[in-house]
Chain A
Amino acid sequence: MYIVVAGGGKVGFHLAQELLQGNNEVLVVERDPVRAAAISEDIGDGVMTGDSCEVTTLDAAGISRADLVAAVTGDDEDNLVICEIARRRGVPRTIARINNPKNELLFKKRGIETTISATQAILAQIEQELPTHELIPLLQLHSGLEIIELKLPVTSPAAGRALREVLLPPESLICLIVDPGGMPRMPGGDTRLNAGDALVLVTRVESVSMLREVLIGSTHGLDT
């Protein structure tokens, strides 16, 4: 396989090393000449200096014959642009590194299905090992759906909003709202969500973290 790795940071460099061991043809495209030279000392001529967001650079890298492009720079906007250009050049598979897990939705909407987020992976691991009290998995259904209970914290970005204004991940539904007084309500589009409400939701297993972002907010100290 011919694989173009856009971005020669730590991720791109080690990725290239591994791929080369698997007998792939690999080209790392790195903007910084000093960094490119350092990579070259290790992997020889499988590195090219250039801005991988530039169409001319990607063309010079022979992108149109690439089987796969991995966009692994530290900037999500660059990774999106690289994947978009690659697809326009007929590359059958693109993989994007996502630094801010919130951006996953946009990549999916743009049809870039394969995204990897280290932040997200670590977060998921932490959640698995140490379930936070705000989100309680109640029941796993077949077909990848899950019923969860979630308590809206005061910091929730959804608190005070009508349900119709809250952008839930696809195939997620709020089925029941129990207010702090214990009164259950069937939610409608005009129903306002308040801090302290307990929500019972159906969602897809893979959307739980997105749901957490929407309803609980950023919990990992990122400045937003």
Chain B
Amino acid sequence: MNVLIMGCGRLGARIAGTLDAAGHNVTILDTSQTSFRRLPEDFRGTKAIGNGMDGPVLERAGIREMHAFLAVTQGDNRNYFASQMAREVYGVKRVLCRIYDPIREQIFRELGLETFSPTSLGAQIMVDMLLGTAPAEK
């Protein structure tokens, strides 16, 4: 599967490493070269520099050949914007998007994106840990 990941933070780098190790064709995009230091040393995928909200940047990163697009920058609105570009303008089939704000996450999901909120999930897990209830599914 051809996957384009926008944002090479801890999460993006980890996803990139995992998918690459599993034999997928990964391109990772970040505005800063130094972010790529987070990638595993044996990463075989493509590193691209640029802002994923910019059409020509996405095109250079091969967006038209992608089966999936993952938006995991620090900015909720940036992730949303780039995800909609991937979906609406370039017709990428699977578009996954991290949204920190649980309220916006729900709205964006209702607007058709595959979203998740680390805030909601993390809160649930910690509450379960503290109270000793069953760990959250998912």
- Please report the C-alpha to C-alpha distance between residue A84 and residue B55 in the assembled complex, in whole angstroms: 20
Q: Is B57 in contact with A77, judged by CB distance below 8 angstroms? A: no
- Whether a CB of chain B sits under 8 angstroms from the CB of A127 is no
User: What total of chain A residues lie within 8 Å of the partner, measured CB to CB?
Assistant: 25
- A interface majority secondary structure: helix
Task: List CB contacts (< 8 Å) of A49-98 with chain B.
Answer: 53-56, 75-78, 80-81, 84-85, 88
Q: Is B89 in contact with A81, judged by CB distance below 8 angstroms? A: no
**Least CB separation from A59: chain B residue:** B103
Our count of residue pairs bridging A and B at CB distance below 8 angstroms stands at 65
CB distance from B39 to the nearest CB of A (A): 25
- Please report the C-alpha to C-alpha distance between residue A157 and residue B54 in the assembled complex, in whole angstroms: 14
Measured as residues with beta carbon below 8 angstroms from the partner, the interface class of chain B is 20 to 34
**Least CB separation from B53: chain A residue:** A77
Q: Is A84 in contact with B53, judged by CB distance below 8 angstroms? A: no
Q: Which of A55, A77, A167 contacts B89 (CB 8 A)?
A: A167
Q: Is B64 in contact with A109, judged by CB distance below 8 angstroms? A: no
CB distance from B86 to the nearest CB of A (A): 10
Task: List CB contacts (< 8 Å) of B68-106 with chain A.
Answer: 75-78, 80-82, 84-85, 88-89, 101, 103-104
Q: Which of B55, B85, B107 contacts A88 (CB 8 A)?
A: B107
- Whether a CB of chain A sits under 8 angstroms from the CB of B56 is yes
- Whether a CB of chain A sits under 8 angstroms from the CB of B42 is no
**Least CB separation from A54: chain B residue:** B101
- Please report the C-alpha to C-alpha distance between residue A106 and residue B132 in the assembled complex, in whole angstroms: 46
Seed contacts A102-B56, A103-B53; 9 additional CB < 8 Å A-B pairs: A80-B84, A81-B104, A85-B104, A88-B111, A106-B88, A106-B89, A109-B84, A109-B89, A110-B84
Chain A contacts to B: CB under 8 angstroms: 53-56, 75-78, 80-81, 84-85, 88, 100, 102-103, 105-106, 109-110, 157, 165, 167, 218, 224
